[in-house]
């Protein structure tokens, strides 16, 4: 990790400790009263008995911005990290198969709510205001084991409530129903995580539910795209945010998709990539959840415009992205990229040249680390029908 990254992280931590010197009593207590955005979190540690609970800031009012990535476009890394650090995470250890009982049912009501929910939590002992920014996992605020919890004023979102009570709908179809009803993806992910969807319900660690939701929706959209006509030009979309440079290239071809990531670690350049054709991907991608998050962002554009294309996404992770905040920033970054006016070129080579123009990695280096040229040369499954 470069000194630049360390300096940024130190500056954010310093600002956090400055706030604690003024308001530390709010984060170091055996209780908290505040308004949940609403937000719940399911951990993966000790699976299948995991730590589950609400996330509550020590303030009342409209706190919805604190856990709504769809509204974070244009926010700085420091602002987003502070959103996360201000959420105190209450926990109880629960089996993933326990999707009923008062505690979980309360959390499901919070998740279903269309507005922030007033919450009072009592902890078994005083929480610590110390937090860690390790550069590996998304940050969150203090943690406290819940002794008792009370929630007030939930107001169910009707489409979520209807899906919740439909026990005949499988989880896959439930996710798509909520998406097609206009529910934010971050909200669907929480419903999936807290065991509200499907026939055989269980709790799903938050980080797994995020990837599963992106995968289900992007796969559904891809199936639609296969019926659309091919684009007749080469289009390049670019967007930069939070120290991430994104370039999206669309080109005339039956659906093929590749994402390549590059990052610096201790001055050494690393790469990761994965790809698919019309048959999809049959293994966990090397670049994990970012693959499906980016795929969702670009397939939404293709479906909206009723077109089909080949896609290559380049993502350069710069040292300024010193604190990972979650794959939501990939999804929202690509969504923002697809809202830009694209550059139109006559050739694939010209498109890749422009896509890599403002990056520190050359066109030839990007292509050598991926498989897109091989995919273009190969016949796709569609060529046999």
Residue 61 lies in a domain: yes
CA distance 173 to 224: 15
Task: Work out the average pLDDT over 134-138.
Answer: 60
What is the reported pLDDT for 1? Answer: 45
Q: What SS3 string covers the chain?
A: CCHHHHHHHHHHHHHHHHHHHHHHHHHCCCEEEEEECCCEEECCCCCCEEEEEEEECCCCCCCHHHHCHHHCCCCCHHHHHHHHHCCEEEEEEEECCCCCCHHHHHHHHHHHECCCEEEEEEECCCCCCCCCCCCCCCCCCCEEEEEEEEEECCCECHHHHHHHHCCCCCHHHHHHHHHHCCCCHHHHHHHHHCCCCCCCCCCCCHHHHHHHHHHHHHHHHHHHHCCCCECCCEEEEEEEECCEEEEEEEECCCCCEEEEEEEEECCEEEEEEEEEECCECCCCCCCCHHHHHHHHHHHHHHHHHCCECEEEEEEEECCCCCCCCCCHHHHHHHHHHCCCCCEEECCHHHHHHHHCCCCCCCHHHHHHHCCHHHHHHCCCHHHHC
What is the reported pLDDT for 384? Answer: 40
Does 207 score more than 70 pLDDT?
A: yes
Question: Could you tell me if 232 and 377 lie in one domain?
Answer: yes
Between residues 139 and 35, the one the model is more confident about: 35
Task: Work out the average pLDDT over 99-108.
Answer: 95
Domain boundary at 155, 177, 211, which?
A: 155
Question: Could you tell me if 150 and 231 lie in one domain?
Answer: no
What is the reported pLDDT for 128? Answer: 77
Question: Could you tell me if 149 and 286 lie in one domain?
Answer: no
Question: Could you tell me if 107 and 24 lie in one domain?
Answer: yes
Pick from 52, 227, 66: nearest CA to 149? 52
What is the reported pLDDT for 139? Answer: 80
Highest mean pLDDT among 10-14, 27-31, 98-102, 138-142: 98-102
Does 259 score more than 90 pLDDT?
A: yes
Domain boundary at 155, 176, 210, which?
A: 155
Lowest mean pLDDT among 96-105, 131-140, 352-361: 131-140
Residue 174 lies in a domain: no
Report whether the peptide linkage leading into residue 146 is cis, meaning its omega lies within 30 degrees of zero. no
Does 23 score more than 80 pLDDT?
A: no
Domain boundary at 127, 155, 183, which?
A: 155
**Confidence band for 212, pLDDT divided at 50, 70 and 90:** very high
Question: Could you tell me if 243 and 325 lie in one domain?
Answer: yes
Residue 35 lies in a domain: yes
User: Cα(first)–Cα(last) distance of the chain, in Å?
Assistant: 49
Question: Could you tell me if 150 and 273 lie in one domain?
Answer: no
Per residue in 83-94, pLDDT (tens digit) is: 988 999 999 999
Per residue in 104-125, pLDDT (tens digit) is: 999 999 999 999 999 999 999 9
Q: Are 236 and 247 in contact (CB under 8 A)?
A: yes
Question: Could you tell me if 10 and 128 lie in one domain?
Answer: yes
- What percent of the chain lies above the pLDDT cut of 90? 81
CA distance 250 to 55: 40
Between residues 185 and 12, the one the model is more confident about: 185
Range of the domain at 70: 3-155
Residue 173 lies in a domain: no
**Confidence band for 169, pLDDT divided at 50, 70 and 90:** very high
Does 227 score more than 60 pLDDT?
A: yes
Global pTM reads 0.93
Average pLDDT, the chain: 92
Question: Could you tell me if 130 and 31 lie in one domain?
Answer: yes
Does 136 score more than 90 pLDDT?
A: no
Residue 166 lies in a domain: no
Residue 200 lies in a domain: no
Question: How many domains does one find in the chain?
Answer: 2
Question: Could you tell me if 371 and 253 lie in one domain?
Answer: yes
Residue 193 lies in a domain: no
Does 46 score more than 60 pLDDT?
A: yes
Residue 215 lies in a domain: no
**Confidence band for 273, pLDDT divided at 50, 70 and 90:** very high
Pick from 217, 172, 209, 186: nearest CA to 96? 209
Question: Could you tell me if 236 and 130 lie in one domain?
Answer: no
Per residue in 288-312, pLDDT (tens digit) is: 999 999 999 999 999 999 999 999 9
Question: Could you tell me if 149 and 251 lie in one domain?
Answer: no
Task: Work out the average pLDDT over 172-197.
Answer: 97
Pick from 253, 250, 274: nearest CA to 381? 253
Question: Could you tell me if 133 and 240 lie in one domain?
Answer: no
């Amino acid at each position: 990790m470069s000194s630049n990254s360390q300096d940024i992280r130190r500056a954010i931590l310093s600002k956090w400790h400055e706030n604690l010197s003024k308001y530390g009593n709010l984060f170091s207590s055996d209780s908290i009263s505040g308004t949940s955005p609403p937000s719940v979190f399911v951990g993966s540690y000790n699976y299948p008995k995991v730590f589950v609970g609400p996330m509550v800031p020590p303030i009342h009012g409209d706190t919805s911005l604190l856990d709504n990535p769809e509204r974070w476009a244009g926010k700085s890394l420091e602002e987003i990290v502070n959103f996360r650090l201000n959420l105190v995470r209450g926990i109880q250890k629960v089996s993933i198969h326990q999707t009923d009982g008062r505690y979980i049912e309360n959390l499901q009501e919070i998740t279903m709510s269309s507005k922030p929910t007033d919450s009072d939590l009592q902890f078994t002992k005083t929480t610590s205001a110390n937090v860690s920014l390790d550069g590996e996992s998304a940050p969150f605020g203090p943690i406290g084991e819940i002794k008792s919890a009370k929630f007030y004023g939930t107001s169910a979102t009707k489409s979520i409530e209807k899906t919740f009570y439909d026990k005949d709908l499988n989880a896959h179809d439930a996710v798509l129903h909520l998406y097609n009803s206009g529910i934010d993806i971050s909200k669907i992910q929480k419903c999936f995580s807290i065991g509200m969807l499907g026939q055989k319900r269980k709790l799903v660690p938050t980080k797994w539910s995020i990837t599963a939701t992106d995968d289900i929706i992007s796969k559904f959209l891809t199936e639609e795209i296969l019926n659309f006509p091919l684009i007749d030009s080469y289009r390049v979309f670019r967007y930069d945010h939070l120290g991430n440079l994104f370039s999206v290239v669309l080109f005339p071809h039956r659906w093929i998709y590749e994402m390549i990531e590059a990052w610096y670690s201790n001055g050494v350049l690393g790469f990761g990539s994965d790809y698919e054709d019309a048959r999809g991907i049959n293994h966990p991608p090397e670049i994990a959840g970012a693959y499906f998050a980016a795929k969702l962002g670009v397939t939404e554009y293709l479906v909206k415009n009723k077109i089909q294309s080949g896609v290559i996404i380049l993502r350069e992770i710069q040292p300024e992205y010193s604190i990972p905040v979650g794959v939501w920033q990939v999804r929202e970054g690509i969504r923002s990229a697809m809202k830009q006016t694209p550059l139109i070129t006559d050739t694939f080579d010209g498109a890749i040249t422009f896509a890599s123009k403002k990056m520190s990695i050359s066109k030839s280096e990007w292509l050598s680390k991926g498989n897109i040229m091989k995919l273009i040369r190969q016949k796709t499954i569609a060529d046999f029908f």
